[in-house]
Structure 1
Amino acid sequence: MKITVKSLKGGSSIVEITEKTSILDVKKLVEKDIKIPASQQTLVLFGKTLQDDKCVEDYPKIKDGTKVYVAIKKPESLNAVLIKFLRKYYSDDQCKLIVDEFMRNFQSKVDSLSLDDLERIAKSEIGE
């Protein structure tokens, strides 16, 4: 079956799926057309969020020609990711101290980069 996935910021994608296709796989198909990373997508059907670990068959309202909307999640900040990880091992106060020190050190290192350094990093990331 084919469904249309429309972005709230414009753009759409028609994807070919089966009932056994996972919602995460639908996001990956959409990522190719709309250029929104799957990790930042939230698929919405009739006001309900579709869960990544479920399949299309778990949502009986998804049929051939159905329109599903994709909302873009704001990526988590580095601070938030670090705190979430560190909370497994440290108290909240310790997490804050560690993250604050890490961010000061990180900012210092970034500030010390030259334009040549930034160009080298950019080239290595885009594969030149």
Structure 2
Amino acid sequence: MKVTVKSLKGGSSLIDITEKTTILEVKKLVEKDIKIPAAQQTLVLLGKTLQDDKCVQDYPKIKDGTKLFVAIKKQESLNTVLNRFLKKYYSDDQCKLIVDEFMRNFHSKVESLSLDDLERIAKSEIGE
């Protein structure tokens, strides 16, 4: 079946899917056409957020010709992600100390990188 995915910021994509296609796979197809990373996408159908681990067949209202909408999630800061993870194991005060020290070390290491280091990192990330 073919469905249209429209971005709230403009742009759309006509994708071909099956009932067995997962929502995460739909996001990856959208990523190719609209250039929004799958991790930043929230797919919405009739005001309901679609879950990555579910299949198209789990949403009976998705049929041939259906329009889905993609909203872009704001990326979380490194501090927020670290805090959420650490709160499972430490108190709020301990989390703050750990995150503060981590960020100090992180900034120190990043500032010490040379242009050659940055070029090597960039080449390894883009596969050259």
TM-score w.r.t. the length of structure 1 is 0.91
Percent of matched pairs sharing the same residue: 86
**Partner in structure 1 of residue 123 of structure 2:** 123
- Return the alpha-carbon distance in structure 1 between the equivalents of residues 101 and 12 of structure 2: 43
Q: What runs of 5+ residues in structure 2 fail to find an aligned partner?
A: none
How well do the aligned residues superpose, as a CA RMSD in angstroms?
A: 1.4
How many Å apart are 1:80 and its aligned residue? 1.2
Secondary structure of 1:6 counterpart: strand
Q: How many residues align?
A: 128
Are positions 1:36 and 2:10 aligned together? Answer: no
Q: Can you list the C-alpha shifts for 1:83-115, whole angstroms capped at 9, x where unaligned?
A: 122122211111110000010111111112222
Give runs of ≥4 in structure 1 deviating > 6 Å. Answer: none
- Kindly provide the CA deviation profile for residues 35-94 of structure 1, in whole angstroms up to 9, marking residues without a partner as x: 212111100112211112222122222111111010111111111111122122211111
1:80 aligns with 2:87: no
Equivalences for residues 1-128 of structure 1 within 5 A = 1-128=1-128
Letter of the 2:127 counterpart? G
Q: Which residue identity does 1:90 align to in structure 2?
A: Y
Secondary structure of the equivalent of 1:119?
helix
Larger mean CA deviation between 99-108 and 17-26 belongs to: 17-26
Measured in 2, the distance between the counterparts of 1:115 and 1:25 equals 37
Distance 1:21 1:127 in 2: 29
Residue range with higher mean Cα deviation, 68-77 or 11-20 = 11-20
- Quote the Cα distance in structure 2 between the aligned partners of 1:125 and 1:41: 22
Which SS does the other structure have where 2:53 is aligned?
coil
Gaps of 5+ in 1: none
Taking structure 2 as the reference length, the TM-score comes to 0.91
> How far 1:8 sits from its partner (Å)?
1.4
Question: 2: distance between equivalents of 1:116 and 1:60?
Answer: 53
